[in-house]
């Protein structure tokens, strides 16, 4: 079955490459993904990786709009950060990638930077733009949990300020590469242990350093189960993030944008602080954001 | 030149194996080390690894006294933890390793455990015992910085309580395996950046999660140098440890036991809080502790 999209949406991060064949009226005709993320590619590897994935969709030479680390200095071509406060996406700032395949025309969306405190994002600006299309007139806070979680204050259609937390990466390193991994093998989850970790971290965030090794010690001498250790570690790290991000969520309207399971964990942690967060799918937001940049949207303006 | 020790001291950790040929009156006749730490060995690999290292010293069948992870459940043979409060070492609790080489007689020192909050140590108990021999009548706090830093309250010759921090392991993971590694390549050190990290962490320890990614962002958009990034990360992590360990050092007599460079960093951080810590060499303490367990010491009692 041939796919003949009006345009192609691409989300190209450090670890993964995802693409959607889009119709002129914004429907997804087909999707594809590979593990050829930026982290695996040298500069001249991007075009071949993209053609491998979306070659079958290119007969009609549809324009491609991409976001994510593909636009970083180590990516396909650098799309310089735009400085906040600003609207999350700006068609005029798109950067065209150098291509040799005549069927390709690839526009890359820039990320955002904040001078003080210094911070950067790439990819999330597109989800933010999408969220603002899905929630017209939204004023408040967006939280995008992930490897590098972002808390974002949006107002009047602009990103006002944001802050990044390495919570997801810390969880991966501690649970898979540190001494704690010995007590966390296997699957399973212990909701009560997660809640205890969140509560512990929020009430005494300065004690995180002292809490981590306890997970190992309790496994050795007090029978802590692997699922409780994993869940408590997650709770401790998310709770520590919430403690530091308090100005973002206390008394604010909060919307979570992320993968189902992770967003559910953040929503649960926020609910323990009496914050009822709205939830949006990260993919929905990415597609809504890229759609705003597509030539179809331009034609419709 | 043949070495004919009265006994052999062994410090066998996760990453390294170190041995000292000792005279009857406590002098070091020779030393040797290898990277055959516990982490690389299966149970039946310990005896061959030891013989490879100290075979030339075994003609006179000197007894071997060992401490460290060699006595863990994943080690040569388990030396069950002793519960604090207790003296750091007890000759009666030594466990004899199973051997097939007739020249070998290997005694392993057990670690210590604390029930609440759960904590464990292996190897440090020997350094603590050594420190108490080097500083007779010492009453106060010992800090043993390292992969897993320990803060230890000792009184009347006993370990009263202790707490472990994963500071060294966190530094290694964040500086070598996380996104921060990109901005930390190369050597060098920036003392002012270290001090700023310590101060920042001690004044707002709950903000650690928010400080880490700034190191990356400042490298990308504000010209933060790799040596400043590394030193500030170290300062942030040590400062966070000090914040959580405050009950151990505030108004207390503190002695640092560790490698030269790391102890110097901790001493500098403590000095910023008006705590002047005494410093002992980790190797001196290990040897003094193992000497207390040696048959020579027993004969002298």
Q: Using a CB-CB distance cutoff of 8 angstroms, which residues of chain A are in contact with residue B210?
A: 117, 163-165, 244-245
Which domain-ending residue is among B66, B93, B114?
B114
Q: Determine the 3-state secondary structure of B25 from DSSP.
A: coil
Closest approach of chain A CAs to the CA of B279, in angstroms? 23
Q: If pLDDT is split at 50, 70 and 90, which confidence band does A299 have?
A: low
Element (H, E) at B231: helix B226-244
Asked if residue B243 is part of any domain, the answer here is: yes
pLDDT of residue B282: 96
Asked if residue A31 is part of any domain, the answer here is: yes
Q: Are residues B174 and B83 in the same domain?
A: no
Q: Are residues A109 and A163 in the same domain?
A: no
Q: Which of B122, B38, B42, B44 is nearest to B80 (CA)?
A: B122
Q: For the whole model, what pTM was predicted?
A: 0.93
How do residues A202-244 score in pLDDT, each as one tens digit?
A: 999 988 888 999 999 999 999 999 999 999 999 999 999 999 9
pLDDT of residue B2: 86
Asked if residue B297 is part of any domain, the answer here is: no
Q: Is the Cβ pair B179, A120 closer than 8 Å?
A: no
Please state, for a pLDDT cut of 90, what percent of chain B lies above it.
Answer: 93
* A26-53: average pLDDT: 96
Closest approach of chain B CAs to the CA of A193, in angstroms? 16
Q: Is the Cβ pair A207, B244 closer than 8 Å?
A: yes
Q: Using a CB-CB distance cutoff of 8 angstroms, which residues of chain B are in contact with residue A234?
A: none
The answer to whether residue B299 scores a pLDDT higher than 80 is no
Q: Are residues B100 and B164 in the same domain?
A: no
Residue position matching structure tokens 């509560």: A199
Closest approach of chain A CAs to the CA of B241, in angstroms? 6
How do residues B208-217 score in pLDDT, each as one tens digit?
A: 888 999 999 9
Q: Distance from CA of residue A300 to its chain's centroid?
A: 28
Asked if residue B299 is part of any domain, the answer here is: no
Asked if residue A300 is part of any domain, the answer here is: no
Instruction: With beta carbons less than 8 A apart as the criterion, state whether A44 and A73 touch.
Output: no
The total domain count for chain B is 2
Mutation site, A80, A213, A234, interface B, largest B CB count within 10 A: A213
Q: Are residues B153 and B280 in the same domain?
A: yes
Nearest CB to A163; choose among B210, B220, B237 = B210
Q: Are residues B128 and B101 in the same domain?
A: no
Which domain-ending residue is among A113, A145, A170?
A113
Q: Determine the 3-state secondary structure of A185 from DSSP.
A: coil
Say how far apart CA A194 and CA A86 lie, in whole Å: 37
Mean pLDDT (chain A, rounded): 95
Q: Are residues B160 and B286 in the same domain?
A: yes
Instruction: With beta carbons less than 8 A apart as the criterion, state whether A189 and A231 touch.
Output: yes
Which domain-ending residue is among B66, B87, B114?
B114
Q: Is the Cβ pair B178, A169 closer than 8 Å?
A: yes
Nearest CB to B244; choose among A118, A210, A245 = A210
Tokens of B49: 């690894």
Say how far apart CA A61 and CA A105 lie, in whole Å: 8
Asked if residue A299 is part of any domain, the answer here is: no
Q: Are residues A81 and A162 in the same domain?
A: no
**Which domain covers residue B97, as residue numbers?**
1-114
Q: Are residues A272 and A137 in the same domain?
A: yes
Closest approach of chain B CAs to the CA of A76, in angstroms? 17
Tokens of B20: 């000292």
Q: Are residues A93 and A137 in the same domain?
A: no
How do residues A59-86 score in pLDDT, each as one tens digit?
A: 999 999 999 999 999 999 999 999 999 9
How do residues B153-177 score in pLDDT, each as one tens digit?
A: 999 999 999 999 999 999 999 999 9
CATH value at residue A18? 3.30.420.300
Sheet holding A278-281, edge to edge: A158-165, A149-155, A140-144, A254-258, A278-281
Mean pLDDT (chain B, rounded): 95
Q: Using a CB-CB distance cutoff of 8 angstroms, which residues of chain A are in contact with residue B221?
A: 81, 113, 115, 118, 120
């Amino acid at each position: 079955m041939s796919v003949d999209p009006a345009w192609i949406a691409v989300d190209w991060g450090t670890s993964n490459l995802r693409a959607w064949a889009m119709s002129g009226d914004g429907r997804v005709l087909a999707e594809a993904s590979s593990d050829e993320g930026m982290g695996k590619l040298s500069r001249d590897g991007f075009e071949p990786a993209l053609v491998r994935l979306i070659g079958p969709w290119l007969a009609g030479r549809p324009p491609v709009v991409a976001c994510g680390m593909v636009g970083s200095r180590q990516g396909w071509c650098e799309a310089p950060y735009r400085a906040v406060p600003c609207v999350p996406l700006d068609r005029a700032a798109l950067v065209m990638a150098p291509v040799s395949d005549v069927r390709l025309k690839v526009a890359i969306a820039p990320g955002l930077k904040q001078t003080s405190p210094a911070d950067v994002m790439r990819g999330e600006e597109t989800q933010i733009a999408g969220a603002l299309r899905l929630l017209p007139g939204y004023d408040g806070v967006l939280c995008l949990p992930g490897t590098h979680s972002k808390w974002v204050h949006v107002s009047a259609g602009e990103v006002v300020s944001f802050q990044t937390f390495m919570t997801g990466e810390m969880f991966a390193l501690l649970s898979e590469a540190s001494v704690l991994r010995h007590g966390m093998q296997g699957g399973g989850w212990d909701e009560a242990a997660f809640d205890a970790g969140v509560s512990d971290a929020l009430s005494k965030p300065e004690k995180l350093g002292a809490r981590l090794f306890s997970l190992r010690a309790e496994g050795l001498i007090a029978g802590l189960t692997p699922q409780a250790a994993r869940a408590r570690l997650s709770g401790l790290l998310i709770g520590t993030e919430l403690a530091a991000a308090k100005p973002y969520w206390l008394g604010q309207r909060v919307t979570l944008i992320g993968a189902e399971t992770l967003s559910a964990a953040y929503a649960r942690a926020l609910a323990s602080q009496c914050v009822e967060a709205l939830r949006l799918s990260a993919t929905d937001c990415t597609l809504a954001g890229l759609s705003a940049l597509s030539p179809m949207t331009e034609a419709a303006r």
